Amino acid sequence: MENDKIIVVFGGSFNPPLNSHFSLAEQIVSEYENVEKIIFVPVNQKYQKKGLLENKYRYEMLKCVCDKNDKFEVSDIELRNKRQLYTIETLEEIRKMYPNKTIWFTTGSDNLRELNTWEKADELVKRFKVLVLERDEDCLEDIINNNRFLKENEKSFIKVKNNVRSGLSSSFVREKIKEGKSIRYFTPDEVYSYIKANNLFK
């Protein structure tokens, strides 16, 4: 039986993790009083994405920040799997770990438009709440109203309150590193130091 405590699953490549990832997580904890924990779930390197760092580096970068915040946690649930998991599989595994909690997961409004094409999309939106981060000039209400699947399941979607939009991307940060430019203040100090110590993204 679910209670009113919420676990939020924050998936992504985190290649590298940015200040904006953690500030968003902190904002979610602050805005939704029943949120007990944010679990960062980096995707497996089997995910076909150009320039994706090895699993261990992305996991460790997240961990060095999460270890300093008792509301944050990083999970290797996708990293230790032999294949790329579907979102619903990841969420079901996390639900097994927290059987008495309500599970939400985050996604950007850009991905929301394609949600109906995801594996077991109908089951996904019935079992889990979707916390949506509006990107660029997107408006969640407009996206829902223009998509029949989303409209039929609109009670499953929650808009991130008072979202501070950032144009900064991990790909931009990677390019700056390749150019030999500073990325200080784009990432947490712990991540910045880790990237330098391990000579990543060169």
Residue-level pLDDT at 3: 67
Please say whether the beta carbons of 132 and 108 come within 8 A.
yes
pTM for the predicted model, two decimal places: 0.94
The predicted model gives 55-62 an average pLDDT of 98
The predicted model gives 93-121 an average pLDDT of 96
Q: CA-to-CA distance for 37 and 69, rounded, in angstroms?
A: 10
List 12's β-bridge partners, or say none. 42
pLDDT tops 70 at residue 2: no
List 74's β-bridge partners, or say none. 40
CB-based contacts of 66, cutoff 8 Å, min separation 6:
40, 72, 73, 74
Q: DSSP secondary structure string, 21-76? A: HHHHHHHHHHH-TTEEEEEEEEPPTTS--TTPPPHHHHHHHHHHHHTT-TTEEE--
pLDDT tops 70 at residue 4: yes
Closest CA to 73 of 116, 126, 37, 34: 37
pLDDT tops 80 at residue 150: yes
CB-based contacts of 187, cutoff 8 Å, min separation 6:
16, 17, 18, 19, 173, 195
What is the CATH number that goes with domain 6-165? 3.40.50.620
pLDDT tops 50 at residue 1: no
